[in-house]
Structure 1
Amino acid sequence: MNKNHVIECLRFALEAQLATAQAAAKTAYDTAIHEENIAENKYDTLGLEAAYLAQGQAERVNDCHLSIIEFEKAFKTPTSKQVTIGSLVCICDEDENLKWYFIGPLSGGLSIKIKNTLVYVLTPQSPLGKLLINKQQNDELSFTVANNTTLLEIISIS
């Protein structure tokens, strides 16, 4: 897997998230200030609810901007022999299934598809991210989810 290609795809995905958040924020703002949402009495809360939604969407836009800034820092991190923020990691499980992870500063759960292969963003705060940080190629790990333990091996780090 080419790390530079992964980085470009992540940039595109982050920009797409930002565009979606901006569109949602604009829609929420327009709804909040629309004349039909002016309260007619003290029990009419539609306008207030729309304002809260607009505020939440604005915060989401700010989070997207922050993700882009933090990822740009991570993209510039030099390749290390240990898993760090900015590492592209390939892991093999007991059934010899390969999974690819980009260790990112934020946006855990984001995934991109490259040539029918999914690359998932993990943060160091996630359970698997915590386990991977500072590990090296060929290290074997034991990962438990819901009382189900899986043995993993780090195949590559770039």
Structure 2
Amino acid sequence: MDKRWLQQQVLERLAADLLLTEQAALTAHETATHEENIAENKYDTLGLEAAYLATGQARRAEAIRQAIAAWQQFRPRAHDDTLGIQVGAAVCLVDAQDRRQWVFLGPPGGSMKLECRGQPIQVISADAPLGRALLGKCVGDDISTEIEPHRLQFEVLQAT
């Protein structure tokens, strides 16, 4: 599993999300401040609603910038069996129905699905319920986590 490639894919996706979010914030700001949207009475709230939307989009853009900074500083290391699964691990899990899934444990803000050489990979952070359950586990360990409304159980098949 090429962790540097995965990191680059996360950064590219975050950069694209940031661009869209900044454009949405700009559009909402322009709508909020446009002269045609000045409230004529207390029921005329288009400008106010656009201002709330612009604020929300600006907050989202800042969160994405923070995620980009965390992912740029992130240096995935080789898995160390003595430490168990840590941030930076790529982990293959298997469930009771013998379905396998790959998870890449990274910094906050990069939760997404990617594909590497035809293999789907779920990128999660250590703050996610599954991420917390994985920390410190080793190959062969069973993990269980609750993601409402389901209880998920896996065995750690491989960690790199």
Does TM, normalized by the shorter one, top 0.5? yes
Aligned-partner SS, 2:114: strand
TM-score (norm 2): 0.85
Q: CA deviation at 1:62?
A: 0.3
Residue 77 of structure 2 aligns with which residue?
78
User: What RMSD, in angstroms, separates the aligned Cα atoms of the two structures?
Assistant: 2.1
1:89 and 2:88 matched:
no
Deviates more, 1:134-143 or 1:13-22: 134-143
Deviates more, 1:145-154 or 1:128-137: 145-154
Aligned-partner SS, 1:100: strand
Q: What is the aligned-residue identity percentage?
A: 35
Q: Using the alignment, how far apart are the partners of 1:53 and 1:144 within structure 2?
A: 33
1:51 and 2:51 matched:
yes
Gaps of 5+ in 1: none
Note closer, same or farther for the CA distance 1:150–1:37 as it changes in structure 2 (3 Å cut). Answer: closer
Residue 120 of structure 2 aligns with which residue?
118
Aligned-partner SS, 2:86: coil
Greater than 4 Å deviation, 4+ residue runs? 144-150
Q: Using the alignment, how far apart are the partners of 1:16 and 1:120 within structure 2?
A: 18
TM-score (norm 1): 0.85
Q: How many residues align?
A: 157
Question: What letter is aligned with 1:80?
Answer: H
Q: CA deviation at 1:44?
A: 1.7
Aligned-partner SS, 1:19: helix
Residue 36 of structure 1 aligns with which residue?
36
